[in-house]
Structure 1
Amino acid sequence: MSLRVTFLGTGGAVPTTERAPSALFVNREGDRLLFDCAEGTQRQMMRFGTGFGIDHLFVSHLHGDHVLGIPGLIQTLDFNERDAPLTIHCPPNTRTDLDDLVHAVGHDPGFPIRFDVVAPDEVALDGEGYEVRAFETEHHTRSQGYVLEESDRPGRFDRPAAEALGVPVGPKFGRLHAGEPVEATDGTVVDPEQVVGPPRPGRKVVYTADTRPRERTVAVAADADLLVHDATFADDMADRARKTAHSTGREAGSVAERAGAKRLALVHVSSRYAGDASAIRRDARETFDGDCFVPDDGYRIEVPFPDAGEEPETEE
């Protein structure tokens, strides 16, 4: 079951020729989710081949570099004759402004736009085998991040043990794996715990958007397979980070280390690092022992299951 993350926009408030502002696309086994939608996001979606088939847009806050792409994306969807609803999940007290933004140029979408106001610690999307929850972040406006977390999966099925207990090969294997006791060929009852291992964890992807480092993020990102964290500045700009309510690479690395995250993506890179963002990654690596990277626009990562026993696969 695939879980692919595409970084559509990795830059800060000021776009550069290398980096567009914030937008993150997640495809979980055909469920297509968009987190933030800066200006030009619809072009990034075409450029990097994600397609427009999203059903859910998650807005972190109302700063322009996170939402100004919404009117353009909606018009593009309309021009493509979309008729399916689009749900926009947003923080409390932002619905009216977002509704005004959708209609800012007098365009009335030909498909339903649904607004879902979700407070921190509430479930924004209850999907099949996963959910997306909001969590509070710290910025200069009402803001929140989102965590996509999958449900536990059934434990591994021990086929030799099942056969040794007299369970005939066939549908009863599947019933046992699904948690249902079955009858063996000699009439004895075989319970699932006899042949099925302990539940296996699903995957977790955490997106902070713009934020100062917070203990709440550490808690939410515990054992995350991928943490996408604000890292606007290198550490020599720490005072600027505090003044603007952003994070440095070092601070993002510290959050990831304390959370036990497996992988850290450093995003919202300031335009002052347009030519070289290596200082941000270097600072993060001083506080985080895991795998960390500064993705370029269009970078994709396939997030593996925690028990996959292999390194995460990436592709350009």
Structure 2
Amino acid sequence: MPLRVTFLGTSGAVPTTERNPISIFVAREGDELLFDAGEGTQRQMMRFGTGFSVSHLFVTHHHGDHVLGIPGLMQTWDFNDREEPLAIHTPKGTRRQMKSLVYTLGNRPSFPVRINEVGPGDVAYRADEYEVRVFEADHDTRAVGYALVEDERKGRFDRERAEELGVPVGPKFSKLHEGESVELEDGTVVQPEQVVGDSRPGRSVVYTGDTRPTAATVDVVDEPDLLIHDATFTDDRTDRAAETAHSTARQAARIAAETGARRLALVQISSRYAGDVSDHVTQARDVFHGEAFVPDDGDALEIPYPDAEE
């Protein structure tokens, strides 16, 4: 089942010719989710071919570089005669601000819009096989981060062992894999644990939005497959990062190491580093020994299952 992350925008508050304001698009088996929508997000969606069928928009906070793309998206959806409902998740206490963005052109959208205020510890959205959790961010306004966490998957079915036990090929295989015991013709009862392995982990993607380093990022999920972390500055601006409630690449990497993340994407890159992000990567790799990188706008990642190589 594919899980794909597309970096629509990766810049800090000031865009550059190479980097759009922040926006992350996640596609999972027909579900299309958008995390933040900086100015120009709809053009990035067209440019990088994600499509516009977003069902849920998750906003980390209401600074302009994270939300100014929303009015344009609302208008485009209207022009395209959208009928499908949209859920917008926004930090507690920001409903009025979000309504202003949704209705900024003075027109009521032609499709249903639900605004859902969320806070740390909430599940913003629960789907059949995953949920989007909310965790605390440390920024200079009401702010949260989000973690997409898949449910555990069933263990692998040992067909060879089932046949050795005399289970006939057919519906009883499925029952065992679903956790039901089955009775054979001779009266023998075969239990699921005899032929089904331990449950296997799903995948997880954590996105911090703008934040200083926080323990909440570490605690939201163990060993995320991808951590997308604020890395506005490098070591030369550590004091500035603290003053403006952002993180450095090295600080982001320390969080990644603590979480046991498999990959670390450094985003929210200040325009002062427009020509060269090599220091971000070097400093992150000093303390994090997984894959650390600064994505370019348009980069897309397929997230494999943790046990894919087993």
CA distance in 2, matches of 1:184, 1:282: 61
| Corresponding residue for residue 235 of structure 1 | 235
**Conservation of the 8 A alpha-carbon contact between 1:166 and 1:186:** no
Per the alignment, residue 73 of structure 1 pairs with 73
Task: Tell me what 1:111 maps to.
Answer: 111
- Aligned residues: percent identity? 63
TM-score by length of 1: 0.97
Q: How does 1:1-316 map to 2 (within 5 A)?
A: 1-309=1-309
Checking the alignment, whether the CA contact within 8 Å between 1:8 and 1:48 is kept in structure 2 is yes
Aligned mates of 2:74, 2:45 — CA distance in 1? 13
8 Å contact from structure 1 (residues 165, 184) kept in 2: no
- Once structures 1 and 2 are overlaid, which stretch shifts more, 247-256 or 274-283? 274-283
Q: Give the ranges of 4+ consecutive aligned residues of structure 1 lying more than 4 Å apart after TM superposition.
A: none
Q: What is the TM-score of this pair, normalised by structure 2?
A: 0.98
Query: Contact 1:221–1:227 (CA<8 Å) still a contact in 2?
Result: no
Gaps of 5+ in 1: 311-316
Whole-angstrom CA distance in 2 between matches of 1:173 and 1:74: 48
Give the stretch that moved more between structures: 180-189 or 17-26. 180-189
Give distance in 2, aligned partners of 1:167 and 1:61: 55
Unaligned 5+ residue runs, structure 2?
none
Q: In structure 1, how many angstroms separate the alpha carbons of the residues matched to 2:63 and 2:86?
A: 21
Q: Which one-letter code corresponds to 1:140 in the other structure?
A: D
Do the aligned partners of 1:166 and 1:185 also contact (CA within 8 Å) in 2?
no
Matched residue SS, 2:4: strand
- CA–CA distance in 2 between the matches of 1:54 and 1:105? 21
Query: Aligned partner of 1:279: which letter?
Result: D
Q: After superposition, give the CA deviation of every residue in 1:254-280 in whole Å (9 maximum; x if it has no partner).
A: 000011111000000000111111111
Shift of 1:221: 4.2
Counterpart CA distance in 2 for 1:53 and 1:184 is: 48
Which digits, 9 at most, give the CA deviation of each residue in 1:217-274, with x for residues without a partner?
A: 1112421000000000111110111111000000000000011111000000000111
Provide the C-alpha distance between the structure 1 equivalents of 2:133 and 2:82, rounded to a whole number of angstroms. 27
**Post-superposition CA distance 1:169-217 (Å, at most 9, x none):** 0121111111111122422111100000010010110000000001111
